[in-house]
Amino acid sequence: MLSKKQAKAFFLGGTVLFSAIFLALSVETVTSSMPEKTNDSQITEAVVRGKEIWDSNNCMGCHTILGEGAYYAPELTRVYSRKGESYIKTVLMAKEPWAPRGRKMVAYALSEEEANDAVAFFKWINEMDLNGFPPEPDPALSK
């Protein structure tokens, strides 16, 4: 039967081995594959300011982006191509809570420049290669 010593070796050995593999893959991801797939070189100052707006208002507390966040408001990964620039700006600059179907968004009343930065952020996100996410609906089902 397995002894306590062997069990300990299994735990320690496995931990070291799998941590090493994980670290190696992570280095590859963040230094090479991910910058390419996310168009890291196209992150302009406007995109960074846009991300700050996204972050400092905790937009992820209601929406999802890259499928991450909360499930109270729409997925925004492809919002740039779905809704277009002027729609996004209208929502963000609104002084009253935006609520086209009853559910209210916080009225951020952003300035025109801030709204442009947010749009730049969404545009950059829009171009990312996400291995097929979000999935396309099947038109045959909606007939």
Q: Which residues of the chain form contacts with ligand HEM (CB under 6 A)?
A: 67-68
In order of 4, 12, 34, 77, 101, the CA distances from 65 in angstroms are: 46, 37, 17, 5, 20
Select the binding partner of residue 46 from ligand HEM, other proteins, none (C-beta < 5 to 8 A, by kind). none
- Report if residue 70 touches other proteins, rule: CB under 8 A: yes
**Nearest CB to ligand HEM, comparing residues 65 and 107:** 65
Amino acid at 12: L
Q: Please answer whether residues 110 and 93 qualify as being in contact, where contact means their C-beta atoms are separated by less than 8 angstroms.
A: yes
Q: Which of 27, 46, 59, 117 binds other proteins (CB under 8 A)?
A: 59
Select the binding partner of residue 87 from other proteins, ligand HEM, none (C-beta < 5 to 8 A, by kind). none
Q: How far apart are CA 97 and CA 85, in angstroms?
A: 19
Q: How far apart are CA 104 and CA 99, in angstroms?
A: 5
Q: Which of 27, 37, 86, 111 binds other proteins (CB under 8 A)?
A: 37
**Nearest CB to other proteins, comparing residues 74 and 94:** 74
Of residues 82-141, those binding other proteins (CB under 8 A): 97, 100-104, 106, 121, 125, 128-135, 137-139, 141
CB of 112 to other proteins, least distance (A): 21
Q: Dump the DSSP string for 64-109.
A: EETTEE-SSS-B-TTHHHHH-HHHHHHHHH-SS---TTSPPPP---
CB of 68 to ligand HEM, least distance (A): 6
